[in-house]
Each structure stands twice: as C-alpha cells, then as structure tokens.
Structure 1
C-alpha cells in the first residue's frame, strides 16, 4: 500500500510534458494553454486527500473530488481502470469508467489499498520513473506477432494474447485482503537518496 495525501498530487512523470502537449495544439492560444494547464494542476492537487470526501451530491456528480480520485489510485479490483477524469468526473460517467467508492456493491465498506499492481516496492527515482516502460518493452519483445505487439503497446497492461481481453481479465486481478491497505514499502534509505535501491533493482 501507499499513502494517499497531498504529496502524491505533486508527483509527475518525467515524460508527461513531452506526451501531453499534442492534445493542446489544435487552435488553442498559448495563454489559454498555460491557464488551463496551471488551473488543472492546482485543482488536481487538492483532491489527493482523505480528509475531505467531496463537495456535496450535486457538485460530486460533475466534478472529480477526493472520494472519486481515491478510487483511481486504488489497486482493489473495482478500482482498476476507473475514474480517469482530472477535473470533471462527468466524462467517466458518460464513457462507463466511473466507479463510486460508496456504491451499494460487493465492495462497499472495503478500504482502498493504494498503489500499483504489482506494487513498485521502491522509492528510487529511476525505478519509479521507468519501471512501467521497462515492463512494457519487456512484454513487447517477448510477445510474438506484429498485431500482438501492437496490442501490448496500445491495450491495457493486463492484456495478454491468451485471454485477448483489451484491458485484461478482471477475474485475474489480485484480491485485496483485510489489512493490505496498511502495508507500506519501508526500505533502507541510503545517504544517496535511495540511488542504491535503483542500482540493486
């Protein structure tokens, strides 16, 4: 598990600035881009908290609020591939990727275990930044067939050629046991900002 707090809202992928800008190009004045980008980051910062649930039923229906975004960061089965919206959650409701933490389902009352599947188990800068790319390209080169290789790149991380389900088979997701939400990565931290952890891995 990992903490869900405001510090999480500050982390950004090193490649994000190089991959997001094409979405702002078509006819958008630079000043509009700067304002939109800045306000978006500011809004997303405050929703990384467990101290506040939301802004009331009406605004919660349209806006991304902490209780919605907690689901996005969870590794519980019902949290996977859900609640992508940055500021507006209405898009997830429209496109079927919305999950309500408090909905009356089999998972109601289950605490969210934050993190990835499988957990990264490292605070090393290079490991955290590049572990996903390492896994992606490892799968790419091991997978046979051109179209299957393309699916590795463009389908979900759970996809495999045997099941051939775009986002992977939900039944194969690891179940969260009681207490998993309290398991934290607690490594030895060297004097070199945990670079030792990167080298070992």
Structure 2
C-alpha cells in the first residue's frame, strides 16, 4: 500500500516529491487527535488557560497557509534548487541502516543553525517571529508558522547534506521526522521527563523555555529533537521558573496578515528610514533587538512591551511623520 502511494505521488508530482510536506500532511490526523486529547485532559483538570480559541484559530490558519506555500515553493523553485545541488554533489552517501542515524544527526545540526539564525538574524527572524508571538502553549502552537519562510530562503540551511551526497528526498524526510517530533513538545500538559531524557532530547520542558520571553530564557534551546548542540554551543537552559510566553515587544493582533508581515514590514521601514546606507542595511542581518544609532525602531502595528523588556525605551515618532500607524513601544 505504501509503495502504491509513493508510486502515485511520483506519477502526480514527478520524481522530485517534497517528502517533508507529504509526511507532515499525512500526520495531520495524528496532530488533531493529540490536540483533542490534550484539550480533554486540560478540561478534566480545570487547566484551560492554555486554550484561547482566537489564538488557536490563528495558529491553524498560519499553519495551513505555511503548508500550502511550502508545497508550492517546492514545486516551482525549491525542488529544482535541491536537484541541481544534488547533481553537483561531492560524494554518493548510501542510505542504509548504518547511515540513517548519522544523516538524521546531520539534518538536526542543520536545523539547529537554521533555528539559531532565525533568532539572531532579523531577515530570518521576520519569518520566524509568528511562531513566537503566541502567548499560550498547546499543540496547535507548533502549527504557528509563516508563509514568509518560502521567501526568505531558509531552505539554504538544508543544502549542505545534499551537497555532500544525501538525496534531497532523504533530507526532507529526515527534516519532516524532526518537525513531527517537535509538534509534541509544544504543550503545558507534560511536566519534566526523566533527567537523562531532558539532558539529551528536546522535551516539553526544554521547549517551553525556548518560547519564553523571561530574560534568562531568551534565545535558548534551539534543538529540534536533540539538546546536544545547545549544550555544545552554550545555548542550553533548563526550565527553572514559570515561562512567560510571547515576544518582548508583543504584537497585539490575531489578524492573519498582521501576524505574518508585521516584523518584515517594520524591518523594511527601518531600512528605508534616513541614515547612512550601510547602517540602514544592517537592519537586515543584525539581531532583532539591534538599534541603529540615532534611529528609533518603527512599528506599523501596535506592540506592547512586556514586564521583562527594557524599562527605558525612547518614544516612537508620531504617526503623522510616516503616514502609518505607530506604537510608542519598543522593538519586537
């Protein structure tokens, strides 16, 4: 049956099938079932604060659009790029029982650097920020992704294994396994797991830290399945106090377009604001909280500073100076 399904997909989409999207879409019934179980358990315990329906609907809308955009991008552009790189590969890496685990660890290593870069480079943060702007944590938070992922070039992080000689289908499948696992770490329903497991693997506790805007939790625990690279590169932090979810400059909206575009629009407006060209361009690659000397970060939509953010934030210029609505809060 599986062979027949694969043959059908290849016949429909050609040999360059995006197995990441196939596996993620195929796992959707499992995701929905898990959410129903999570919600039922929360209601039984009287712990429903993590289930805000406006946010859940926004999560599902963002995730659905992301899936469609990723599939179309693969068919139109990304798949061809992966195929071209594979045609110029350095080696032929076999896929068998001896190589599956090393290949998965290689893909996890790529994911770590994709994820870390998506927090520390504003160009990529502009596409990743919707995932972190949710202020509750449940399984649907995992679906909270941005359509901008297909435009900002995050796929480049997964080209190195292909260049070395891992078939693109295998890289995408391994990435899908990584992402399916991550769905189940987006929850408040599971406490800490055994210490040895917490030390090696991503867990709900480890991932709650990653979604926290508490000062000690910012930019920690980037791993998808494993925590080994966080420990190697000094970005690991255990969960020690209650997590405050969201981003330091919280966007106040459930609007689909606002959630997708707010940081990208603000970044481009910062680049366009008067000043030396090289200083303006730094807004594209510096960290999200970087501020250009003499320039107040611009905000097109209302954001709210969290209690954990800096106390001294200069007021933004009045809306009339730009022709667009402004917030007096700091940068997200």
**TM-score above 0.5, yes or no:** yes
Q: Which residue of 2 aligns with 1:182?
A: none
Work out whether 1:154 is the aligned partner of 2:285: yes
Task: Report what 2:187 is aligned to.
Answer: 49
Aligned residues: 163
Displacement of 1:100 in angstroms is: 1.8
Q: Structure 1 residues 116, 143: closer, same or farther in 2, change over 3 A?
A: farther
Q: Which residue of 1 aligns with 2:139?
A: 6
DSSP-derived class of the 1:119 partner: strand
Change (3 A) 1:89 1:150: farther
Q: Could you tell me which of 188, 194, 200 is aligned with 1:62?
A: 200
Considering only aligned residues, what root-mean-square deviation do their CA atoms show, in Å? Answer: 2.5
Partner residue in 1 for 2:222: 84
Identify the residue that residue 101 of structure 1 maps to in structure 2.
Answer: 239
Calculate the TM-score normalised by the size of structure 2: 0.45
Gaps in structure 2 of 5+ consecutive residues: 1-133, 295-304, 310-324, 327-332
Deviation at 1:143, TM superposition (A): 6.0
* Structure 1 stretches lacking a partner, 5+ long: 103-108, 164-172, 178-199
Higher helix share: 2
Q: Is the 8 A contact 1:74 1:113 kept in 2?
A: yes
* 2:105 corresponding residue in structure 1: none
Q: Hey, what does 1:125 align to over in structure 2?
A: 256
Q: Larger relative CO (CA 8 A, sep 6+): 1 or 2?
A: 1
Larger Rg: 2
State the 1:90 CA deviation: 1.7
CA contact (8 A) 2:280 2:292 kept: no
SS in 1 for 2:268: helix
Cα distance in 1 between the residues matched to 2:258 and 2:183:
23
Pick from 307, 311, 318 the counterpart of residue 175 of structure 1. 307
Tell me: CA distance 1:115–1:174, structure 2 relative to 1, closer, same or farther (3 Å): closer
Structure 1 residue ranges, 4+ long, deviating more than 3 angstroms after superposition: 173-177
Asked whether the equivalents of residues 64 and 85 of structure 1 are also in contact (C-alpha less than 8 Å), the reply is: yes
Q: Return closer, same or farther for 1:143/1:41 CA change in 2, 3 Å cut-off.
A: farther
For residue 162 of structure 1, report the CA deviation from its aligned partner. Answer: 4.1
TM-score by length of 1: 0.71
Stretch moving more, 44-53 or 84-93 = 84-93
Shift of 1:78: 1.4
**1:20 aligned residue (144, 154, 179):** 154
Q: Distance in 2 between matches of 1:146 and 1:62?
A: 45
